[in-house]
Chains A and B, each alone.
Chain A
């Protein structure tokens, strides 16, 4: 079974649970690192280093302190989209937010609640890449 490593950044426990549940339904060996906020996410990435980056970072936009877009900005300062693809999870599709994220570089902008089909579609290009 193929394995994939994902960093999930979300401040809300319910959202984390629901996202984890869908991730669990993938027929993949998914290793999920969980960050409850932007600082934790950056700490985890720093700890793992460039050589051991996750296959993707899935992040929520509405978070206290460092918001999703700000966090994405920090991440993009460190790693390019090719190095670390990002998937945004948001319950609202604010055009301004979508535009800001696309500007910074994301693979997909997925609505909450996440459903399996959409997730698969979003992850497909990451799995086929070498």
Chain B
């Protein structure tokens, strides 16, 4: 039982905390209950009080009237007359008993109806005055003068009055009041309920609408026609929903525009890429055909130069023969440049056939062929064993020829050249290097290294077409690798390059 009560009160508390409607309803109900209780109490108290006063009056009056009526009879000692008077008084139904006493307080007459225990009785006494003056007559109904001089009394009367009628009246009144209060309460509670519901409903609607809005329904509207604060709140909510919808539309439009622009941009990028690719291809084929076209006149030049040498060399002096030599050398140089241009084209166009390569062995072979063609040089070469890479054999070979060839060439001024090939791990990437103690170069010009035909040294000092590193860079780029050089002038150069490590694991 206590448990149930506890549960109920807990639920009520929960309900009061969570529901505005319940709180409002409970509040109004409590106020109505309190007000009606107070009013009913006041009413009943007033009624009871006035009833009591009027009953007292009535009793007093009866007592006084009897005292006046029996005065002469008491004075005369006429018992019969007293009885008659008492009989007369008995005609009042509420009178229960009448007693008349003489001056000494002896009971002279007693008239009584049978007593009912359940009924409440009131007793009223009045003295029987010896003299009744004018003033006393006047105060018979109202006033205190009647009892003002008890010494002058010749006896006393006592009347017992049945209060049950008055009590019944009072009970009826109380019941009526309670009924009225109950009715008032019922109506009040109903009104409070309706009021609470009326006030809570728009709030509930707002709450539901807010949930719907949160759920993505931006066409939701709250229908509240009242112009009060809740109505204003609903209007504000509706305009907020409108604003949100507008924002959403704007956002969507902006997004669509962005998407369109992206698509346009991508289209443009594709277009440009295609243009660039086609321009690149044109350039490549121009390079190719130019190289071929240049070869024909060059071959004629060399041909005539040879003819001149063979047929007229004996008719030229030393100076003339030297010029002829030089023309031949220049022709050779030009031939090499044209070959390099063709090599670049072939590097770009070659279909790659990648596999795992032993770089150490390639470097070894390149060094061996350099030693063969340049026997006079003393070069210390150290090659780390078993350095592996993944790539196209022909292109990697070509790259190594160029890189090692450079090291070989630029160490030519050293009494003992030194070339080192190896690899090192840096930030998880395998970096290959070729280090030499050659002439080196000023790092200021490092950006010129990979441009075709850019030379950092005199041709006489270190001959070459100036295209070797351009070729190597293209080869590395085609493999997805990088190449860079570090150098100190007069100390040496290190050429670093990478080939994608991931491809090595592709085996």
Contact = CB atoms under 8 A, between A and B. Distances in A.
Contacts of B302: 113
Contacts of B298: 91
Tell which of A18, A92, A111 has the most Cβ of chain B within 10 Å.
A92
A114 B291 CA distance: 19
Interface in B266-300: 291-292, 295-296, 298-300
Nearest to B302: A113
A18 B304 contact: yes
A62 B296 contact: yes
A14 B300 contact: yes
Interface string A27-66: 0000000000000000000000000000000000010000
Contacts of A62: 292, 296
Contacts of B291: 92
B307 interface: yes
B88 interface: no
B490 interface: no
Contacts of B303: 14-15, 18, 112-114
B412 interface: no
B352 to A, nearest CB: 17
Contacts of A15: 296, 299-300, 303
Given A18-B307, A21-B307, A113-B302, A94 B296 contact: no
A12 B307 contact: no
Q: Which of A12, A14, A111 has the most CB of B within 10 A?
A: A14
B327 to A, nearest CB: 13
B307 A91 contact: no
B345 to A, nearest CB: 10
A39 to B, nearest CB: 21
Interface string B424-445: 0000000000000000000000
Contacts of B304: 14, 18
A102 B240 CA distance: 84
Contact of A92 (B295, B306, B307): B295
A98 to B, nearest CB: 13
Contact of A12 (B292, B296, B342): B296
B292 A18 contact: no
B306 A91 contact: no
Contacts of B296: 12, 15, 62, 91-92, 112
A96 B206 CA distance: 82
Contacts of A91: 292, 295-296, 298-299
A10 to B, nearest CB: 11
Main secondary structure of the interface of B (DSSP, over half): helix
Contacts of A14: 300, 303-304
B372 to A, nearest CB: 23
Interface in B295-345: 295-296, 298-300, 302-304, 306-307, 342
Nearest to B335: A91
B300 A92 contact: no
Nearest to B291: A92
Nearest to B307: A21
A118 B300 CA distance: 17
A49 B342 CA distance: 41
Contacts of A21: 307
Nearest to A94: B292
Contacts of A111: 299
A14 B304 CA distance: 9
B306 A113 contact: yes
Nearest to A114: B303
B142 to A, nearest CB: 149
A91 B338 CA distance: 11
Interface string A108-130: 00011111000000000000000
A32 B32 CA distance: 137
Nearest to B298: A91
B91 to A, nearest CB: 156
A115 B310 CA distance: 12
A115 B304 CA distance: 12
Nearest to B331: A113
A21 to B, nearest CB: 6
A115 B306 CA distance: 9
Interface string A6-24: 0000001011001001000
A83 to B, nearest CB: 30
Interface in A61-108: 62, 91-92, 94
A41 B81 CA distance: 189
Contacts of A115: 306
Interface string B450-474: 0000000000000000000000000
Contacts of B342: 92
In this complex, which of B303, B304, B342 has the most chain A Cβ atoms within 10 angstroms of its Cβ?
Answer: B303
Nearest to A21: B307
A13 to B, nearest CB: 10
A81 B303 CA distance: 29
A94 B289 CA distance: 10
A104 to B, nearest CB: 20
A112 B299 contact: yes
Interface string B132-172: 00000000000000000000000000000000000000000
18 contacts: A12-B296, A14-B300, A14-B304, A15-B296, A15-B299, A15-B303, A18-B300, A18-B304, A21-B307, A62-B292, A91-B292, A91-B295, A91-B298, A92-B291, A92-B295, A94-B292, A112-B296, A113-B306
Interface of B: 291-292, 295-296, 298-300, 302-304, 306-307, 342
Across chains A and B, which 10 residue pairs bring their CB atoms closest together, nearest first?
A113-B303, A112-B299, A91-B299, A18-B303, A91-B295, A92-B295, A92-B292, A91-B296, A14-B300, A113-B299
